[in-house]
Chains A and B, each alone.
Chain A
Amino acid sequence: MKAVSSGKGKKAKTDSTEEIWNLRLYVAGQTPKSIAAFANLKKICEEHLAGKYRIEVIDLLKNPQLAKGDQIFAIPTLVRRLPPPIKKIIGDLANTERVLVGLDIRSVSGLV
């Protein structure tokens, strides 16, 4: 497992009153789709969740047994672990609009 925190991770930690978005990206090796997904995700997070997100990238080729826990069948899959409920988005996250809907970020950003 490779936990990748954003550059602003420290800042998020200090801000304890706000919810921290815990996101997991499941990949299988360094495929173009996985790389694209990670890049797309990071961009979206920076734009909408700056300072309060944390991304874990899990390479299933290295830890295949982790696929069961989050019911992963497609690659890449993004799982929103926090805040609940758990949400899943599969694909390379190229469609930002749908990612925002899928992660339910719009309302959050709207409030912020």
Chain B
Amino acid sequence: MVKTKHDVDVLEKCPTGIRGLDEITKGGLPRGRPTLICGSAGSGKTLFAMEFLMRGAMDYGEPGVFMTFEETPEDLAKNFISLGFDLPDMMSRGLIATDHVKIERNEVEETGEYDLEGLFIRLGDAIDSIGAKRVVLDTIEALFSGLSNATILRAELRRLFHWLKDRGVTAIATGESGDKMLTRYGLEEYVADCVIFLDFRIEEQISTRRLRIVKYRGSSHGSDEYPFLIDESGLSILPITSLGLDYPVSTEHIATGVPKLDTMLDGKGFYRGSTILVSGTSGTGKTSMSATFADAACRRGERCLYFAFEESPSQIIRNMSSIGMDLARWVKKGLLKFHSTRPSLYGLEMHLVTFRKAIEEFNPQVFIVDPISNLSAAGTASEVKSILTRLIDYLKMKKISTFLTDLTHFTGSLEHTSEEISFLIDTWILLRDIELNGERNRGLYILKCRGMAHSNQIQEFLLTNQGIGLIDIYTGSGEVLTGSARATQEAGEKASELARRREADRRLREQERKRNALETKIAALRAEFDVETEEVHLMAEEEQTRQAVQVEDRLDMAHLRKGKPSAVRQSARKRRGKGE
């Protein structure tokens, strides 16, 4: 294969099938070339090689040859079983061929010139027998301890790796790490294309496995140390640093499980796929919040993965039933899965690998860690930051809504301990104690919420047998009151309100009474007036009558004097009759 500096893509890659490795190497190991896997004893070299072969045979249709220099075929079969592969079965199906090359120094005498053609022939025979595309040599260094003529060995090794290239097989050679060189016998000198270093470190009694690609000729690759995990399903490598910030986002909202909190968050709740942090001192209700969120997710029929670092699953279930939440049914339905471990059980990176593995297996829509702050016990602040960045980027890419709780300490600012990770958080809810009048009450407020109008109110946070309740805190007359102080204040207000209302009623009644009195008075005056008017009329009439009588009398007098009295008397009588 011809390779030029500018033509990187020419290099064909052979996928390993090892979780995470193909992402770091951008496709796998160099196809048709040997790769050196080096590391100290127990660093997982053999397992790496084994998984490479097995995945090749099972997933990529590439049969493989496992040539072991150390372990007997029986031990080898046992090792494969530990990864869940049935070696004898695969051998009978022609997927894997094994060969155990046993070199006992005390059984072998060396005299004169020789070469390792026997090894080539055996390997060639094994490759031909199943049409192998992959080869593992574990570990070829045994030759150095078995044979004394290093000059011949070195020449033959060089020839071996050339020969492997000529055969076009993708090979893995393993080698023990040395003091100054990568491998004790300088194998890296012969395998120049790709070298992967496995490390097994113990820091503060916590072991972490790490993998690093030392070189990869003709290909770009991740250059960090990647933590990896070995378990019953093989290796898992965590290549999260390779992720960028170009994940898709969702505009969908999901309920928080607390209706009032949804209201505070623009009336709709969190964004799906966002990262939520709830911080607070101990006993502020973080676990209850987490469980409520988990419950809400399960109600929607979503799967929820719950990592608990403080309590066992059964304890959480029991405790949550005391606030009216039945989590056991979700566990039974397979919607809710708990993982309870002590944070000190593994190193920080191992936790991350565990997270990732659990996420890939369970494929949840909601991921909860309670509390994330316990992880900081397993590493330094900068490590925690880098690990969480990787985790959150990974979760965001998978559109998993992440709910983290953070235990803050009593002393110092509440926001302080979470500062390192605040840039990662989309929605940050703070639970805090409000101590007043010999009482400790819980308050909740939203510190930030990216991309959403949210309430700035502090709410009183109540744990009832109906779940979490949020109540508006008393904020009248320039004071903030919670708990019984709020209740007292509210009761007092109610009483004075009542009194005020009574006073107003009383005044209204008074006014009414006054109006009535006034109207009565007006009526009396009017009546008096009427009477007077009547009298005035009567008097006027009497006066008229009197005058008429006077006139008549005068006429009568005149008549008596002139002898014609009857005509005057008649007309005066007529007038008086009309007036009556």
Contact = CB atoms under 8 A, between A and B. Distances in A.
Interface of A: 26, 28, 33, 36-37, 40, 60-61, 64-65, 67-68, 71-77, 86-95, 98-99, 101-102
Contacts of B478: none
Given A60-B121, A61-B121, A68-B122, A76 B111 contact: no
B102 interface: yes
B289 to A, nearest CB: 65
Nearest to A75: B117
Interface string B108-126: 1111111111110110110
Interface in B56-81: none
Contact of A92 (B99, B114, B118, B147): B114
A64 B147 CA distance: 22
The prevalent SS among residues of B at the interface is mixed
B101 A71 contact: yes
B115 A75 contact: yes
B103 interface: yes
Given A91-B112, A92-B114, A73 B107 contact: no
A74 B116 contact: yes
Nearest to A60: B121
Given A64-B124, A74-B147, A92 B117 contact: no
A86 B107 CA distance: 8
B189 to A, nearest CB: 21
B122 A91 contact: no
Nearest to A71: B102
Contacts, number: 95
A74 B115 contact: yes
Contact of A75 (B99, B108, B118, B125): B118
Given A73-B101, A73-B103, A74-B147, A67 B118 contact: yes
Nearest to A97: B111
B114 A91 contact: yes
Nearest to A37: B112
A98 B111 contact: yes
Contacts of B115: 33, 74-75
B110 A89 contact: yes
Contact of A95 (B103, B107, B112, B143): B112
A73 B122 CA distance: 8
Interface of B: 99, 101-103, 107-119, 121-122, 124-125, 143, 147
Contacts of A33: 112-115
A88 B125 contact: no
A99 B113 CA distance: 13
A87 B107 CA distance: 6
Counting from the closest, the 7 A-B pairs by CB-CB distance are A102-B109, A91-B112, A94-B112, A64-B125, A92-B112, A75-B117, A72-B118
Given A33-B115, A75-B115, A90 B122 contact: no
Contact of B109 (A26, A68, A89, A92): A89
Contacts of B125: 64-65, 67
B113 A68 contact: no
B118 A60 contact: yes
A14 B8 CA distance: 71
B118 A89 contact: no
A36 B516 CA distance: 146
Contact of B121 (A64, A86, A88, A93): A64
A31 B317 CA distance: 77
A22 B348 CA distance: 62
A76 B114 CA distance: 6
A37 B118 CA distance: 15
A88 B124 contact: no
Contacts of B121: 28, 60-61, 64, 67, 75
Contacts of B124: 64
B122 A67 contact: yes
A28 B118 contact: yes
A41 B156 CA distance: 24
Contacts of B113: 33, 36, 91-92, 94
A36 B121 CA distance: 20
Given A64-B125, A73-B101, A90-B109, 14 more contacts: A26-B118, A37-B112, A65-B125, A72-B118, A73-B116, A73-B118, A74-B114, A74-B116, A75-B116, A88-B109, A90-B111, A91-B114, A94-B112, A99-B111
Contacts of A75: 114-118, 121
